[in-house]
Structure 1
Amino acid sequence: MNNYFSLKRFRQLFIKHTVEHYRTYLMSASVLAGVFLLGGMFIFYMIQGPMDAGFQTALFAMLMVIAGPIFTSTIFTDFGDKRKAIPALTLPASQLEKFLVSWIYSYVIFLLVFTGIFYLVLSILLNLKQWPGHHPEMLYIFQDKFCVLLLIFSLLQAITMYGAIRFEKLHFIKIGFSFFIFYALLILVNTIFLRVLVGRQIFPATPFAFLNFPDGTNYYSIGLNAQQSAWAFIVLPVVVLLFWIAAYFKLKEKQA
């Protein structure tokens, strides 16, 4: 068992990784906070009304699914640099321990830091400008719709993590290009399948989304019921887990 995971060895590896990269992570967090603050101030003074919770949620979701993959794509940069690859791969630690350190930083710690910075900047912005007769409201992340956001983030993080190990250079560009090509093919195949299934012309459709089709001058949209939609919440976590497993074995392959 110690060949796969040792708590003492994992703790030492985590500390080593933190000491070596904390300056980069602090700088990244500072840049993120600066972008949030400057961008938020611009948006805040451009809108003609108070920033409600719905608008805050949209910003939170959009920034998370952009910043998360960008950060994750850098987590394995040492393996793309020949000078750093050999020391990183030959560290006296198992592949599982190395994978877990990177996963914790790119998933758990990123979510905590991102959420903390967003709330800090949001609280500053909400106090910069007061609207008469309006009590400032702040988004609350502990609700059902944020489970969907977390699921989407997990999928993007898992795909990016695999790509960060798979590609040696230009990680984010190659991952993004591969993702959009795959997504376009997925929509194409799904649309052709549904077109054959229903026997009529339909608009491009993504899996588990609405089926939209014209009928004369009218347009119709068919969605999944609650029971059918629940399958998406079963399938997607499985896909996320498979990508994490694939990323682990890809890392293991590099060290072999």
Structure 2
Amino acid sequence: MKNHFNAQRFGQLFRKHSAEYLNQYLLSTGVLIGVMMLIMGFIAYISGPPLNARMQDIFFMLFLFGAGFIFTSTIFSNLGNKNQAIAALSLPASHFEKYLVGWVYSFIIFLIVFTASFYLVTALVVSLDEWYGQEKEILNVFSPDQQGLKTYIIYAFIHAVAIWGAIFFTKIQFIKTAFLFFLGLGIMAVLNFQILKTLFTQDLKMAMPFADVFLQADKEMYSLELPQQQQQLIILVPIILAFFFWTTAYVRIKEKQI
């Protein structure tokens, strides 16, 4: 269609998608809450120290990245079924509108629902945990230190890769996308380590991409880090990569409709 976006047409398409998949999404939300409650509750029960904000932050990242990747990689699963794909691609809506519905659900709505669900589970676990007279802590993902913002930015990159795989592959999208994702991370980590190893004369112990470099010299461990201003610029890398994968995913869905 020549008109890429029409608000009324997009609204109708969004309502249609919601009516068809709302029960499935609600059930998935219930499963997510149950899994988080089970894991966080079990860790809080068997561990001595209470589930403090630092541990909550770790759980927040792991659950967000894992659940987000799984959900996003299945958001366009109907394109992998021939009959469903024909019905979906023949809807009277533009390429961009169909792509935008999946993007809004898997990115914006998912982030809102996940954050609310995580806080619900965290509040319940913290209230039931034994703090031994300490002040109870609940993670603030919107704190001024912007750590929560960085987590959301990293998720944007993970989401972009997952939605690209959901559109690019027609079968077992999650497995194929996850395999390529971790393979790419592994290759990048090895190349990064080997390149830095040739640059430093000292014994290089650890060097992850976009992170501090750890060296050993005269039996002493040293860490090298970028200046604060350059560290802030590094956060642009996942943002740029996210827009790249989002764009290529949109181009791919256009090809499926030609």
- TM exceeding 0.5: yes
1:138 aligned onto 2:138: yes
* Mapped partners of 1:126, 1:211: distance in 2: 36
Q: Give the deviation of 1:200 after TM superposition.
A: 5.4
Give aligned pairs, total.
256
SS in 1 for 2:204: coil
Q: Give the deviation of 1:108 after TM superposition.
A: 0.6
Q: 2:149 aligns with which of 143, 147, 162?
A: 147
| CA RMSD, Structure 1 to Structure 2 (Å) | 1.8
Cα deviations across residues 215-241 of structure 1 (Å, max 9, x unaligned)? Answer: 342332211111221221222211111
* Mapped partners of 2:131, 2:8: distance in 1: 54
Q: 2:200 aligns with which of 195, 198, 214?
A: 198
1:219 counterpart letter in structure 2 = M
Cα deviations across residues 81-115 of structure 1 (Å, max 9, x unaligned)? Answer: 11201111111111110111101100111111111
Q: Give the deviation of 1:190 after TM superposition.
A: 1.8
Identical-pair percentage? 40
| Equivalent residue, structure 1, for 2:73 | 73
Q: Give the deviation of 1:36 after TM superposition.
A: 1.6
Cα deviations across residues 42-84 of structure 1 (Å, max 9, x unaligned)? Answer: 1121121322222211111111111110110110100011120
| Equivalent residue, structure 1, for 2:111 | 111
SS in 2 for 1:108: helix
1:59 counterpart letter in structure 2 = F
| Equivalent residue, structure 1, for 2:59 | 59
* Mapped partners of 1:123, 1:37: distance in 2: 10
* Mapped partners of 1:148, 1:133: distance in 2: 32
* Mapped partners of 1:172, 1:184: distance in 2: 18
Distance 1:90 1:64, change over 3 A: same
Does the Cα contact within 8 Å between 1:72 and 1:161 map onto a contact in 2?
yes
1:222 aligned onto 2:214: no
TM-score, scaled to structure 1: 0.94
| Equivalent residue, structure 1, for 2:184 | 182
1:154-165 equivalence runs, <5 A: 154-165=156-167
Does the Cα contact within 8 Å between 1:191 and 1:203 map onto a contact in 2?
no
* Mapped partners of 1:240, 1:38: distance in 2: 32
Q: Give the deviation of 1:21 after TM superposition.
A: 0.6
Does the Cα contact within 8 Å between 2:202 and 2:217 map onto a contact in 1?
no
SS in 2 for 1:184: helix
Q: Give the deviation of 1:204 after TM superposition.
A: 5.1
Worse overlay, 206-215 or 100-109: 206-215
2:53 counterpart letter in structure 1 = A
Q: Give the deviation of 1:132 after TM superposition.
A: 4.7
SS in 2 for 1:96: helix
Q: Give the deviation of 1:2 after TM superposition.
A: 6.3
Distance 1:129 1:186, change over 3 A: closer
1:125 counterpart letter in structure 2 = V
Cα deviations across residues 177-233 of structure 1 (Å, max 9, x unaligned)? Answer: 101111111122222322333355534533221222333423322111112212212
* Mapped partners of 1:6, 1:70: distance in 2: 30
Worse overlay, 32-41 or 171-180: 32-41
2:112 counterpart letter in structure 1 = L
Worse overlay, 177-186 or 189-198: 189-198
2:73 counterpart letter in structure 1 = S
Stretches of structure 2 that go unaligned for 5 or more consecutive residues are: none
SS in 2 for 1:136: coil
Stretches of structure 1 that go unaligned for 5 or more consecutive residues are: none
